[in-house]
Structure 1
Amino acid sequence: MAVNEELDSFLTRVDQVSSLIEALRSPDPEKVQRATERADLLVRGRLAEGAVDEHVECTVAAENRCSVNPRPALPPEAAQQEDFKRQLEADAAERAENRRQAKAESAVWKEKAIQAFREGKYEEALDEYTKALALLKDSCLLYTSRAQTYLKLNRASEALQDLDWALRLDETSLRAWIHKGKAHQQLGQLQLAVQSFEKAIKLHPDNADVVRVYIRDIERARERNAKPADEMHY
């Protein structure tokens, strides 16, 4: 009989602890507070009796570290801010992964475009650069490469559009300024071409000798165009 009573008493205490643990894990601050008080009373009462079971003591102590003396519950506004912060972090991680995948797929199309360009397949290269840009719209390099392809196809106006985008992304891009000069030259806008080349020299003085070659080409073209007029004057 004594054994049964002792077992019943033990099971009752286990039920009490289980109930307390469930309440301590509640999101309701008031319920947690009430459970905390009950847990303190339970432990004090059993200590006074000198009969706190090891199971009860350890279980309540374990929860005590987490919940009996919990950190103060966050006010609703702070809880909302925490939730919003977690959402932002999750969104940032997702966007980073999406960008990583997009860069990888874009790189595949870029390599195909480079190969097609080298083989003189400019229409094919143009299509593949466009697919690469669809996946990675903030690449200065892709815009300048597609612009170069447009120039090979004598589509200077479209090249200029790409070069404007490239320079928005990187206003110091040497390739973009050189190709912009070539595009203006192809359209017969020689003064604008010279201005673009001079901008490239200003930003990249170490490459001045290379860029001046393009300016000299324009100057020679001007001289050739001026000769017939001078001859007619005489």
Structure 2
Amino acid sequence: MAQGDMDEDFLNFESKVNQVMKLLEDMAAANKSDAESAAKKPETKSEINQDNFIVNVRQDRTVLNRKAGQKDPSDSGGPQQMDKYTFMQQMEQDAAERTKIRQERERIAQNFRSMGNDAYRKQNYEKAIQMYTKAIEHVKDSPILYNNRALCYLKLRNSKRAIIDADYVINKLDEKNLRSWLYRAAAYLRLGDEKNYENSIKFAKKNNTKEISYITAFQEKLRTDF
């Protein structure tokens, strides 16, 4: 091979080598660019969802770890607060309704009581008892109504029924009620039960220390009338 040919072949070879090296450099640069693009690539939907899931789990753990009774600062009340308000409003409405019903019952009871008092003054004790009983049907916690009926029973010499009314007041409504103790004493005296008579007088005086003179006068009248 001539020297010129050898020189030409070498130059051709060198040129090919340079081309190959340039190609390799271009490929390396392209790979580097792809790698950098991949690093800057935004999160995919699945990746975002995964991150949100992690955040939610952490928030749930925060709620679970919060001490019992500690209010969540972000909690402004919501439905629970509204439920409390509705409950309190309903309670107020119920209380107002009960008061209204009670007042109406008392009004009706007072009318029957007035008719009973009128019948008592006319010595119509049977009718008086009926009126007081109707009044009690509307208001069951009035000592006056039971005492008035007990007095009517005493007038009719129905001592046992008088004791029942007097005992109801003493045991259920007002244990110190003076009229109940005295009517009870009168009923037992009429039944000839001295022990319960004396016991009733004793408690009448014990529970009504300012009425001793009145109780003594009542005893004297009882002994006279009986």
Q: What CA distance in whole angstroms lies between the structure 1 residues aligned with 2:191 and 2:212?
A: 23
How many residues were matched structurally?
A: 151
The match for 1:185 among 189, 194, 215 is 189
The match for 2:99 among 96, 104, 111 is 96
Task: Tell me if the contact between 1:126 and 1:149 (Cα under 8 Å) persists in the aligned partners.
Answer: yes
Please list, as runs of the form range in 1=range in 2, the aligned pairs for 1:48-67 lying within 5 A after superposition. none
How far is the alpha carbon of 1:75 from its aligned partner?
3.6
How far is the alpha carbon of 1:139 from its aligned partner?
0.3
Contiguous gaps of at least 5 residues in structure 1: 1-71, 222-234
For residues 143 and 220 of structure 1, do their structure 2 counterparts lie closer, same or farther at Cα, with a shift above 3 Å needed? Answer: closer
Task: Using structure 2 for the length normalisation, give the TM-score.
Answer: 0.61
One-letter identity of the residue aligned with 1:183: A
Q: What CA distance in whole angstroms lies between the structure 1 residues aligned with 2:107 and 2:222?
A: 40
Tell me which structure has the larger Cα radius of gyration: 2
Please list, as runs of the form range in 1=range in 2, the aligned pairs for 1:179-218 lying within 5 A after superposition. 179-215=183-219
Q: What CA distance in whole angstroms lies between the structure 1 residues aligned with 2:183 and 2:144?
A: 12
How far is the alpha carbon of 1:187 from its aligned partner?
1.8
Please list, as runs of the form range in 1=range in 2, the aligned pairs for 1:73-152 lying within 5 A after superposition. 74-152=77-155
Q: What CA distance in whole angstroms lies between the structure 2 residues aligned with 1:80 and 1:160?
A: 51
Task: Using structure 1 for the length normalisation, give the TM-score.
Answer: 0.59
Q: Percent identity?
A: 30
Q: What CA distance in whole angstroms lies between the structure 1 residues aligned with 2:100 and 2:135?
A: 17
Q: What CA distance in whole angstroms lies between the structure 2 residues aligned with 1:79 and 1:85?
A: 10
How far is the alpha carbon of 1:110 from its aligned partner?
0.4
Asked if 1:169 corresponds to 2:173, the answer is: yes
Contiguous gaps of at least 5 residues in structure 2: 1-74
Q: What CA distance in whole angstroms lies between the structure 2 residues aligned with 1:100 and 1:74?
A: 38
For residues 88 and 112 of structure 1, do their structure 2 counterparts lie closer, same or farther at Cα, with a shift above 3 Å needed? Answer: same
Of 92-101 and 78-87, the range deviating more from structure 2: 78-87
One-letter identity of the residue aligned with 1:117: Y
Give the CA RMSD over aligned residues.
Answer: 2.4
